[in-house]
Amino acid sequence: MQELADATKIPYGTITTFSPDDLAIREKLRLASTRNATVEEDVAYSLIGIFKSDIRPHYGEGTDALGHLLEEIVARFGDVSVLAWSGKSSSYNSCLPASISVYNQLPYHPPSLEGEEMETYITKLRGKLSQEVAMDIYNQINSLPPARFAARRLHLPCIIFPVRRLGIQEGGSSNEIVYCARVSGLGNVQFTTADDLILDKQKKFVFAHPWIGHIRGPSSGLTGEDDWESDTDTDTDSEGHPGWDGVTLSNFVAATPRVGGYVRALQMIARFGQPFSAFLLVQQPSGEYKRVAAENEIVVPGLGTAITAKNVRTQILEIL
């Protein structure tokens, strides 16, 4: 058993008490990332049962088979962790990878904010953001729907940061081109890409923060109505806080004390200020976007506590 744990990188305890639902989606993809098959489509079709997918084998679709599977995962589980990769884009959708091998990479995870560190962030944010502004930011983020696919198009809820200027970094290695983007709210961001990036002033580029689940925080299972009634420092007018329910308000671990809406909003904003893995997107003539496939994850430093209402631009982007 220990040899099996060492080979698969699955914890010993998980193997000895194994249940198919014990492994997260991303972990299942990691285990499948070294899969080889005589027929290309079988790399994806062999995972249909593991992901309880409804897709049916359609030999002849080639690499689109993996796109179908990943689309089904997003649709069935609302899980956007399948979008965390670097390498080449799929012809199925630019936000999906061309090969399952990319999931052997460990994606960037921002550190969790807890205890005294979270309290420090909240104290700093209190001095910068009024209750009205904080609650407006909170409502914007909480009103975003889950990601979904339709006709191979990804409808991705995210927070966007427009690129003001994009150019080639001087003095880079001759083996690769390093680009430098001047990004509204984020400053200078450097990256390399697997795509042929045409520097055209007419093209609109944006960086996207798609990890809305992380920003919202862990779920507590508390009902929205009960939790909202316990607030003593927030206006309970329902018109000022649309969409409260057991999903959007469940931002706390059940063992933690209930806190007011203002503090809850500041906790969310503190998580939003952390470093994150960003998507670079380029707008198409018809208004949709395509993801620029980066050679490595584009991890940006985030805003810290330097957050204002104008930094939070929530949008649902349609990505081809």
For residue 35, is pLDDT > 70?
yes
Query: Which amino acid makes up residue 56?
Result: R
Is 148 a residue whose pLDDT tops 50? Answer: yes
Report yes or no: 33 and 101 within 8 Å, Cβ to Cβ.
yes
Q: How many helices (H) and strands (E) does the chain have?
A: 10, 9
How many C-beta atoms surround the C-beta of residue 281 within 10 A? 25
Locate 65 and state its tokens: 């088979």
How many whole angstroms from its chain centre is CA 218? Answer: 15
**pLDDT, tens digit (0-9, with 9 covering 90-100), for 91-123:** 999 999 999 999 998 899 988 888 999 999 999
Q: Is the pLDDT of residue 255 over 50?
A: no
Residue 81, SS3? helix
Q: Determine the pLDDT at residue 77.
A: 85
- 3-state helix vs strand vs coil in the chain, percent to 5: 30, 20, 50
Q: pLDDT confidence of 170, banded at 50, 70, 90?
A: low
pLDDT attached to residue 290: 96
For residue 187, which of 279, 35, 18, 303 has the smallest C-alpha distance?
303
Q: Domain map of the chain by residue range?
A: 2-104, 108-320
320 in helix, strand or coil?
coil
For residues 263-292, average pLDDT: 95
Task: Output the DSSP codes for 168-225.
Answer: EPTT--TTS--EEEEETTTEEEEE-BSS-----TTS-EEEEE--HHHHH-------HH
- pLDDT tens by residue, 195-254: 777 777 788 999 999 999 999 988 533 333 333 233 333 333 333 333 333 333 333 333
What pLDDT is attached to residue 244? 30
The whole-number pLDDT of residue 253 equals 38
Quick one: pLDDT at residue 124? 95
Q: How confident is the model at residue 173 (pLDDT cuts 50, 70, 90)?
A: low
Range 147-151 contact pairs with CB under 8 angstroms and sequence separation of 24 or more: 147/74, 147/78, 147/80, 147/210, 148/74, 148/75, 149/71, 149/74, 149/75, 149/93
Q: In this predicted structure, which of 117-131, 135-149, 182-196 has the lowest mean pLDDT?
A: 182-196
Question: Model pTM?
Answer: 0.81
* pLDDT value of residue 36: 85
Report the percent of the chain where pLDDT is more than 90.
56
Mean pLDDT rounded to a whole number for the chain: 83
Query: Percentage of the chain with pLDDT > 70?
Result: 85
> pLDDT tier at 140 (50, 70, 90 boundaries)?
very high
| Selected residue with higher pLDDT from 60 and 223 | 60
pLDDT of residue 76: 87
pLDDT in tens, 1-19: 999 888 877 788 888 887 7
Report helix, strand or coil for 315. Answer: strand
Query: Lowest-confidence range among 194-203, 258-267, 283-292?
Result: 194-203
Least confident among 80-94, 184-198, 274-288: 184-198
Q: What is the DSSP letter of 310?
A: G
Hey, what amino acid is at 175? N
pLDDT at 88 over 50: yes
